[in-house]
Structure formats: C-alpha cells, structure tokens
A and B are shown apart, each in its own frame.
Chain A
C-alpha cells in the first residue's frame, strides 16, 4: 500500500543521504522524496512517498525514527491528510490541439506559464493521482517534457508535525 511519511530532521549536510541511503540499503521502495528547510532554518521537512506491506511500512517507520537526525515523524496515511505535487509539463500545442489543451488545463485548474509557437508549458498543482490523470488526458504523443516535484504532505486540521 502507498504511504506518505513526513519527517522533521536536522537541517545538516548529509541528512538527506542518511534517509536515501537507508532506503537503498534495506531495499525499500521510494516513489518520491521532497525536502526543504522549514520556518525554523535548523529543521528540514521531508515528505517520502513509499509503498510496501504493513510489516515493511512498520520497519520503514522504525528505521527512520532510529536515525539520529530525525527529530519527529508521522505516517500521514494513518489519518486525514492533504498532499500536493507541483508539475511542469511542456506539450506540443499546435492546430486544434492548442485550444483543446488550454481547455484541459482550465478544467484541471492548471495554468499555462509559457507559450511558444509550437508549445505550451503548463503548471499544475494537485494530488499525484490527479497529475497522472492530466497526463493521461493530454496523451503521450503531445508531451515533450515532464518535471514533477514529488508529493508534499500535511495533516488535516489539528494533525500537526512540530517539535
């Protein structure tokens, strides 16, 4: 099953590689990983999207918690949460498709952020699944380039991950 794990970790050199190294050394899946400093510059917030059986996920959580640099963590999938991913996608926008792509972008609440004679660059922020649907709707033939950030996650309401 897919899980989104949030971590607060010391914003120190090498912290990211401790997490990445843990996943590769123990053979855990890693679908995406995003990291950036928080309002407290000594802390980084990381969102990891992973998958595995309940036993594997339990181990992933325990192993992450064991890292000395990990200050706090939460498996967002254990409760209500929000996830968002930013995607930039460059598509062939010519002829009839040009109008159709604009409509599709509006429907998905995206924005065209760059235009050339031949292309659109579209920005879209949503759940990972929604971004997948958009790409499917556009169709492989028209896609020139896709850049995705990986999911960032946060708990709903009073579910807060803080030190």
Chain B
C-alpha cells in the first residue's frame, strides 16, 4: 500500500496504539497535521508552547506504562521542546518526539526555521534519527518506540524533513525490531544474585535504598516483599517515592539533601547497602568522599551498567531488569534456610528509632496567623485520601510535597527530579489527567514555577482537564531565597517576585475557578471545596509564610550526616 510519509507516520502511531499526541503545528509538519486531521484514532492535544507538549507527554508516560508522544515543528518548535526532552532524559522517561525538519534539499542552507535537530538533541536523548527517505519512516518509528521503552528508558527523537512527509512509499509496519548494536539487559547474573542474598542475610545493619528505577520497572511489589523478608529499613530517592509505600513501618522516608535524619543516618551507618534502581547522585549522597569514608558493603542493582560505580565504589554489581533481578533474588531468599539474625535486626531498628526521635522525623511549627506550606500539603494528603496523582514543579514546594504527601503507590508522584525543570508541573499534570480520566490530579506549584508555563491553563480549558492547582505562593523563589539566607548572607538577590498577577482573576480569565486563601483556618475548607468541584480546574492561590525553609537540609558539598535540622537554627 502506497502512502505519503505523513500518512505513514500516523499509521505507525496507530500501530503503536498511541491514544494521544501532544503537539503544536508549524510549516515543516503541515503534511503530518493534514494526515492527523483525516483520521480519528490518534487524538491530538494542542498545547500553547512546545515545551509543554513534551512535559505533557512526559507526565502521560510517568503516570502509566505508556510511551509519551510529542509532535513539534522544525526550528523554534524543536528548540522549545529541548527542555522537555532533557527533563525526560534525566529521569529516564520513555518518549518519542517527532519533529518536522526543513526539506532535505534545503538542509544546511540556513533555511527558514532550520536547526540541526539531531545535533542539538544528541546529548539529551537516548537516541535520535533523521529520516531521509519515506520508506525508512516505519522501521525508524518502530525502532524509536522500541528504544524508548526497553532497557533504561528514555526519549527518542525522529526528525522528518517536510518533503519526506509528502513523498509516497509502501507502508508496512514491521512486526518486530532487531537492532544489532542494542541489547537491553534481561536477567541478572545468578551467581552475583546468590552472593547478594548471602551478604544481605549476614548483614547486621542493612539498608535498602530504592530509586526511580523501581517505579519504571514496575517492581514495587518485589521491592516490598524483599524489604519485609530482610526486616531492613527502606528509603526512597525523590524519584523513587511511591515505589515503596510511605505508610509501611519499615519506610524511613526520603533520603538526600532534604531527606529525613533517620534515612540519611541509616545510609551512613549501615553495614550492607542495597541500592535498587538508584544512582547515588549528588543530591542524594552529598559529598562523595564523606560518603566513601564509611566501611560499608554496597550491592547495586541497575539496568544501566554506567550507573554502577559512576560516583561510588560498588562491591557487588548486578546489571539487569530490576523486576527480573528482584524476582530471582526473592526466590533465592525464600528458598534459603537462613534468615537475618533477629537480634541484629532489633538492635539496628533501635538505633534507627533513636535517630528518628533525634531528627523528629519531619517537623515544622504550625501557626494560626500565617499559612505554613507544609500544612497545606498535609491537608492536601488528608483530603485526597493520599491517593491523588500529584505533579509538582521545582523548588521548596516540590520538597515539601515529597516530604509530606505520603505516597503509597508508584507513578503517583510526578516531578522533574534530575533536571529540576521549573514549569514542568502544569503540563505534566495535563498528561497525567488525560491517561487517568476521572482520577484526582493535583499540581503543586509555586508562584515562580507556574508562571513558566501558565499559558497551559488555556489547553486545560480546551480539553476539559479538571486539574487542581495548589500554588504555594510565598512571593519568593523560595529555594533560591533559602540558599541566599543560609549561604549568601541574607542577600536576596533577584529572588523576590514583584508585580505578581492576581492569580484568581488570571484563572478566571482562562475560564477556570480561582481561589485565594490567606488564613490557615481557610486551608482545609478551600481544599475541600476545590476537590469537590470534579469538573473544574481550580487554581488555589495559597499565601504562605515567605520565611519558611525546607528542613532537614544537607548543604551542597557536605556529607549526609552534616545535616541542618529545623531546631539547629
């Protein structure tokens, strides 16, 4: 069957059972949009800025097990998308981005809206392609989806020149794909797995440190069983939250820069550390030398060998699909006659509980006068039954949400962990809402972050997305202000947000419901009212305490035990 390149692209998306494409039209993708127009299987969500298209596709992927798809035009369409692509890359989110390119004969001539898309995106994609022949479109898109979702997932860009999308070729979607230079890991090494079990059984002070890999591999059930069999404390990274239930008694909270005292101290004093789908990044373990001073044994399970021994030395590496590795590890553990020494486990938990008492878990001083941001998140958790999808932007509000919204299920916590992209929250929430129709979706944001993609309120109106925007508005770029207070002598250089819009009127101007909440006593009623409005997007402008800081805090470059607690100041 002969089809145009554009028709082939749409047929490929249909074959991949793509329900939604997030995009924005333009010159180089006109044929593709024309083909999109003439069918109704693949639905298109028209965003207001290409960055938002990619974040929406990202939120779509994070909150499901699907590959997110974005469609943008050449030149500025592509460059606008780059922040979204880099965000997805840092957090290993499966995504396919289709970008238009100037016609093949114009490439390299500085044509109108021409950029080297493959060159610009190379460092922030898992792989990318420039398709120069319509007959290559189908096999390339097949490869793109395969690469995006297998192995360590990631975004894949397919750049398609305008003439290629208009030329005809025979269409046949490949049934399978084989890339001779790409072999995603499967099972782990059985000998290594048996060694790991032995080390864990002999540990006196084990800790399980689980990251976003557990969520991506859908291995939460395996992780929970393992932690229970070992009787060990379990901590999650920012990306891993929800991968282990926060309400479980063996959960010691998030670790890292704003992690709990007990989680960080347990990391520093354990004798065997089991890292699962986590990468020891700087926001998690702080100073590498300080971290390495402790004579603990590290077992590291990850699908990406380059994540192993990148920042810290590892005693026992296991490369493989987390789910398969954990399944095998559990089987060995279940069949072993040995169990962790109960006396050792008890003594270790006594120590962990002492830290918990010293650090006070998470603590803040509530007020009757001024709204504390942590209080809003606690109430948000309460009113949504802890079961909402929560997309967040980046900054203090992100950390407070990570700390105080106790995620019990994976894929509920949607945030830009690696790249830390302000402006991520609202468009990501759109993707979440689309793939989870009827679900409660909140976007926790700040007055800084929300303004980076606030135009998406218009998209939300067009597509009836009843997201609940929880803006913690403290009139400051809070995290910047916090660092300036701690490390720059209270010189608040450019971190005050002057001339803020009236968010209530702004929400109303976009056709939504706006609420302004100034008093602590109004927090709960406002949230209740907002979440009761099932069909409306409600923008809640919470005027919060501008002086509030995120604690605990391990300052940048310090070790995990050099933590600042709330009462230290």
A70 to B309, CA, bound (A): 21
Given contacts A25-B123, A65-B305, A66-B306, contact A9 B181 (CB under 8 A): yes
CB of B388 closer than 8 Å to a CB of A:
no
Given contacts A13-B130, A55-B309, A63-B306, contact A69 B181 (CB under 8 A): yes
Q: Which residues of B contact A66 (CB under 8 A)?
A: 304-306
Picked from A17, A25, A63, A68, the residue with its CB within 8 Å of the CB of B181 is A68
Report A101-160 residues with CB < 8 Å from chain B CB. Answer: none
CB of B126 closer than 8 Å to a CB of A:
yes
The 8 A-B pairs of least Cβ separation, nearest first, read A71-B181, A62-B306, A68-B127, A62-B305, A25-B123, A68-B182, A63-B306, A66-B306
Interface residues of B (CB under 8 A from A): 118-119, 122-123, 126-127, 130, 147, 179-182, 304-306, 308-310
B180–A71 contact, CB under 8 A? Answer: yes
0 or 1 for each of A24-44: is its CB under 8 Å from B? (1 = yes): 010000000000000000000
Report A36-87 residues with CB < 8 Å from chain B CB. Answer: 55, 58-59, 62-63, 65-66, 68-72
A-B contacts at CB below 8 angstroms, number: 40
- Least distance between B160 CB and chain A CB atoms (Å): 15
Q: Which residues of B contact A21 (CB under 8 A)?
A: 122-123
Q: Which residues of A contact B130 (CB under 8 A)?
A: 13-14
A65 to B123, CA, bound (A): 15
Q: Which residues of B contact A14 (CB under 8 A)?
A: 118-119, 122, 130
- Least distance between A38 CB and chain B CB atoms (Å): 14
A59 to B182, CA, bound (A): 18
Q: Which residues of B contact A70 (CB under 8 A)?
A: 181
B180–A163 contact, CB under 8 A? Answer: yes
A10–B181 contact, CB under 8 A? Answer: yes
Closest Cβ neighbor of A71 among chain B residues: B181
The 30 listed contacts between A and B (C-beta, < 8 Å) are A9-B181, A10-B181, A14-B118, A14-B119, A14-B122, A17-B119, A17-B122, A21-B123, A55-B309, A58-B309, A59-B306, A59-B309, A62-B305, A62-B306, A62-B308, A65-B305, A65-B306, A66-B304, A66-B305, A66-B306, A68-B126, A68-B127, A68-B179, A68-B181, A68-B182, A69-B127, A70-B181, A71-B180, A72-B181, A163-B180
Closest Cβ neighbor of B308 among chain A residues: A62
- Least distance between A50 CB and chain B CB atoms (Å): 16
Closest Cβ neighbor of A15 among chain B residues: B181
Q: Which residues of A contact B179 (CB under 8 A)?
A: 68
Q: Which residues of B contact A13 (CB under 8 A)?
A: 130
Q: Which residues of B contact A59 (CB under 8 A)?
A: 306, 309-310
CB of A2 closer than 8 Å to a CB of B:
no
Q: Which residues of B contact A69 (CB under 8 A)?
A: 127, 181
A143 to B147, CA, bound (A): 51
- Least distance between A10 CB and chain B CB atoms (Å): 6
A72 to B118, CA, bound (A): 23
B182–A18 contact, CB under 8 A? Answer: no
Q: Which residues of A contact B147 (CB under 8 A)?
A: 68
Interface centre among B147, B304, B306 (most CB of A within 10 A): B306
A10 to B305, CA, bound (A): 21
Q: Which residues of A contact B182 (CB under 8 A)?
A: 68
Closest Cβ neighbor of B122 among chain A residues: A21
Closest Cβ neighbor of A24 among chain B residues: B123
Given contacts A55-B309, A59-B310, A62-B306, contact A18 B181 (CB under 8 A): no
- Least distance between B86 CB and chain A CB atoms (Å): 12
A72 to B127, CA, bound (A): 17
- Least distance between B292 CB and chain A CB atoms (Å): 12
Q: Which residues of B contact A63 (CB under 8 A)?
A: 306
Closest Cβ neighbor of A72 among chain B residues: B181
Known: A21-B123, A59-B310. 19 other contacts (CB 8 A): A10-B181, A13-B130, A14-B118, A14-B119, A14-B130, A17-B122, A18-B122, A25-B123, A55-B309, A63-B306, A65-B305, A66-B305, A68-B126, A68-B127, A68-B179, A68-B182, A69-B127, A70-B181, A163-B180
A22 to B119, CA, bound (A): 12
A163 to B118, CA, bound (A): 27
A21 to B119, CA, bound (A): 10
Q: Which residues of A contact B122 (CB under 8 A)?
A: 14, 17-18, 21
Q: Which residues of B contact A55 (CB under 8 A)?
A: 309
